[in-house]
Amino acid sequence: MNEIERDEASEVRGWFVGLEPDDGELTRLRADLAERAADADLVDLAYATVRTPIGAVLLVASRAGVVRLAFENEDHDAVLAGLAASVSPRVLEVPGRLAQAARELEEYFAGRRRRFDVPVDLSLARGFGAAVVAHLPSIDFGRTESYAAVAAAVGSPRAVRAVGSACARNPVPIFVPCHRVVRSDGTFGAYRGGHEAKRFLLELESAA
């Protein structure tokens, strides 16, 4: 290759390098492709990660509504893998599908929302757990119920431990307020997001 050819090749390489998208452009392109896939009905489970005062949470939506919220202390990749295996492998990051859920969470943490309107999909709660999860939204903002009271409310007054297990497996915490269920002595009890996350949520609501 002579000197003129080398100069021409260098100019061509420089032209192509100039066309390479930056990180922001790649993000926009990925988001656009994800939205197109969702619009083309190629996505069964859409997800997004949202930052909150208690850490980054993973939001996952089925066609019916928010089907899973995973806290920062949970392995988000493992949660998505589990959903892919148990619900559908057609899982894709599509933040637009979770825009309403993310907005309502932001309003809740800012003290401007007491009840969620975003649809939720409770299909991951089964058996006795489904009855417990179905009861939880009746516990109003700023109030709590004991595990024993919830057990009685769902018709199984002796199933106090089972209520605790059902709350621990609640697939959509915060949206379905299992944090409002406490022990009979008033102590918090276990929580999927951790003790401090439960404390934060209860204190947030009591201060509103």
Domain coordinates in residue numbering, the chain:
23-109, 128-207
What separation in angstroms does the CA of 126 have from each of 68, 139, 151? Answer: 14, 20, 16
Q: Cα separation of 112 and 101, whole Å?
A: 14
167 catalytic, yes or no? no
* Res 8: pLDDT: 46
Of 178, 201, 202, 204, the active-site residue reads 178
Instruction: Show Cβ contacts of residue 187 under 8 Å, excluding neighbours closer than 6 positions.
Output: none
Q: Which of 159, 171, 166 is nearest to 190 (CA)?
A: 166
CATH classification number, 23-109, choose in 3.30.565, 3.40.50, 3.30.160, 1.20.120: 3.30.160
Lowest mean pLDDT among 13-17, 30-34, 115-119, 133-137: 13-17
- At 105, give phi and psi (nearest 5°): -60, -45
Q: What is the pTM of this model?
A: 0.82
Q: What is the pLDDT of residues 95-136, one digit of tens each?
A: 999 999 999 999 999 999 999 999 999 999 999 999 999 999
Check: CB of residue 61 under 8 Å from CB of residue 102: no
Query: Is domain 128-207 annotated with CATH 1.10.10.10?
Result: yes
pLDDT of 16 > 50? The answer is no
CA dihedral 160→165→166→168, nearest 10 degrees, is 130
